[in-house]
Amino acid sequence: MFHYHCLNPISQVGLDGFSSLYVQTDNINDADAILVRSAAMHDLELPENLEAVARAGAGVNNIPLQKYAEQGIVVFNTPGANANGVKEAVLAGLLLASRDIVGGINWVQSERQNDLIAKDAEKEKKRFAGNEIMGKRLGIIGLGAIGVLVANAAARLGMEVYGYDPYISVDAAWNLSRDIRHIKEVDEIYRECDYITIHVPLMDSTRKMINKDAIDKMKDGVVLLNYARDLLVDEEAVVDALRAGKVKRYVSDFPNPTTAGAKGCIVTPHIGASTAESEDNCAKMAVKELIDYLEHGNIHHSVNYPECDMGICSTVCRIAINHRNIKNMIGQFASVLGEADLNIANMANQSKGEYAYSLFDLDTMVTPQVIETLKKIDGVLKVRVLK
Ligand SMILES: NC(=O)C1=CN([C@@H]2O[C@H](COP(=O)(O)OP(=O)(O)OC[C@H]3O[C@@H](n4cnc5c(N)ncnc54)[C@H](O)[C@@H]3O)[C@@H](O)[C@H]2O)C=CC1
Ligand SMILES: O=C(O)C(=O)COP(=O)(O)O
């Protein structure tokens, strides 16, 4: 029996993927697994039995990945599962920044008692006039799951799309329309584009990457869109640039005291992935990842441990070991198992950065003493026995 705890509301369609082996608990301290969306986990006291965390979404800046890896806790996310939801929100952002749709709607609301509204609308509408996006140049920084969808959709709407991503994955490159211009220096995006949208993860290396220097290089009247994370942008600098007329509009999905209400900012309350479809997709993928890890020890889409898959165990038992990526670990595991007269039928070992993961399928049941010996090896962070 496994217990899971939800730190945020998680779509029931996804949770229905858990079998009767799983019970939802309100007490986080009972949890073997946690499902989370954007709740901040940095200061959270960790439950003792916690094996895994699944982020039903893409961004993992709310989770202390290294600290969890140190404790052998595998953190998953759900790559691409909410990308279409965000893509559609970005398309809305492009249009909201180009046409004063919100101003127009507000005017109609304010005039709702006016019997002459139809006639007055024809007089007033020039105040809400805008421009079209067709033919304009859109720069996309970050061509992952979301950036690629935005690029292809914008190209289909007639925009000239420039894409920049020095670390683009092979899959993303295959999915990118051939109409997208491959940009190798981000400055070219700053220099040439009428609209710039950012789709990179928040990490130390990307924090405030859109700063005053970058804005100074941009075209006058540029529109910036940020559906990724507010901390990627120096928003004080953006507000100054809006005041100076350098930036025309800043569209963001992350309200904070700097941007909420600031002139020229169009801010939504982090709703990029808040669609029924995205919420269901993320929850379904997260639940699948947890089940495969808790029951079979397989790791898919982890952000702090390597991919590792040995399918379903067809021998007597499987041992899963989370450990440091240092030399002679496999040698030590094999000698402990050999000395205990246990034959390794199948094994896998994968590493990612400082951490590694090993699976051993054995022909005989392992004893608690052998598990204790494995746990004592320097560099071992967690040992589990699975059937
Ligand atoms: N507003 C919302 O509700 C949502 C926001 N997000 C945010 O969007 C971000 C991106 O999401 P996905 O596209 O799904 O992630 P992804 O991991 O598929 O793509 C990120 C891309 O950024 C690229 N990248 C990393 N550093 C870069 C740099 N310095 N310059 C250019 N490219 C760089 C990577 O190579 C990768 O291709 C997430 O990390 C999250 O913060 C994601 C989903 C929903
Ligand atoms: O997936 C992401 O990175 C998001 O920002 C979506 O966050 P949410 O699940 O809507 O709280």
Q: What is the pLDDT of residues 245-287, one digit of tens each?
A: 999 999 999 999 999 999 999 999 999 999 999 999 999 999 9
Distances from the Cα of 226 to the Cαs of 105, 117, 163, 252, 325, in angstroms?
Answer: 23, 36, 15, 5, 36
What does the pLDDT read at residue 181?
A: 98
Q: In this model, does residue 387 exceed pLDDT 90?
A: no
H helices then E strands: how many in the chain?
13, 16
What does the pLDDT read at residue 374?
A: 98
Mean pLDDT along residues 195-215: 98
Element (H, E) at 34: strand 33-36
| Ligand located closest to 303 CA | 1
In the structure, what pLDDT confidence band is assigned to residue 355 with cuts at 50, 70 and 90?
Answer: very high
What is the CATH architecture assignment of 1-81+276-305?
A: 3-Layer(aba) Sandwich (3.40)
The CATH homologous superfamily of the domain defined by 308-387: ACT domain (3.30.70.260)
Token digits of residue 177: 């329309």
- The candidate with the shortest Cα–Cα distance to 359, out of 346, 372, 371, is 346
CA geometry: angle 313, 317, 323, nearest 5 deg: 90
Mean pLDDT along residues 87-104: 98
Mutate-to-test residue for ligand 2 from 7, 37, 146, highest number of ligand atoms within 8 A of CB: 37
Mean pLDDT along residues 63-86: 98
Q: In this model, does residue 369 exceed pLDDT 90?
A: yes
What does the pLDDT read at residue 367?
A: 97
Fold of 83-267: Rossmann fold (3.40.50)
Q: In this model, does residue 189 exceed pLDDT 90?
A: yes
- Does the beta carbon of 59 sit less than 6 angstroms from any atom of ligand 2? yes
Distances from the Cα of 45 to the Cαs of 32, 59, 67, in angstroms?
Answer: 14, 21, 12
What does the pLDDT read at residue 148?
A: 98
Percent of residues, the chain, with pLDDT higher than 70? 100
Distances from the Cα of 176 to the Cαs of 92, 140, 147, 288, in angstroms?
Answer: 21, 12, 9, 28
- Does the beta carbon of 168 sit less than 6 angstroms from any atom of ligand 1? yes
Rounded mean pLDDT of the chain? 98
- Does the beta carbon of 85 sit less than 6 angstroms from any atom of ligand 1? no
- Does the beta carbon of 60 sit less than 6 angstroms from any atom of ligand 2? no
| Cα-based torsion angle of the residue sequence 236, 238, 239, 241 in order, rounded to the nearest 10 degrees | 120
Q: In this model, does residue 92 exceed pLDDT 90?
A: yes
112 Cβ contact partners less than 8 Å away, ≥ 6 residues apart:
none
CA of 252 relative to ligand 1 center, distance in Å: 15
Per residue in 115-144, pLDDT (tens digit) is: 999 999 999 999 999 999 999 999 999 999
- Does the beta carbon of 201 sit less than 6 angstroms from any atom of ligand 1? yes
What spatial distance separates the first Cα and last Cα of the chain, rounded to whole Å?
A: 13
What does the pLDDT read at residue 168?
A: 98
Q: What does pTM read for this prediction?
A: 0.97
* Closest ligand 1 atom to 274 CA: 3
292 Cβ contact partners less than 8 Å away, ≥ 6 residues apart:
298, 299, 300
Cα torsion 13, 39, 384, 327: sign: positive
CA 237/CA 248 separation, integer angstroms: 13
Amino acid at 372: E
What does the pLDDT read at residue 319?
A: 98
Distances from the Cα of 62 to the Cαs of 57, 299, 310, in angstroms?
Answer: 11, 21, 30
Per residue in 292-343, pLDDT (tens digit) is: 999 999 999 999 999 999 999 999 999 999 999 999 999 999 999 999 999 9
Percent of residues, the chain, with pLDDT higher than 90? 99
Q: In this model, does residue 164 exceed pLDDT 90?
A: yes
C-beta of residue 15 within 8 angstroms of C-beta of residue 283: yes
Residue ranges per structural domain of the chain:
1-81+276-305, 83-267, 308-387
C-beta of residue 318 within 8 angstroms of C-beta of residue 309: no
Domains 1-81+276-305 and 308-387 share a fold: no
| Cα-based torsion angle of the residue sequence 373, 377, 381, 382 in order, rounded to the nearest 10 degrees | -20
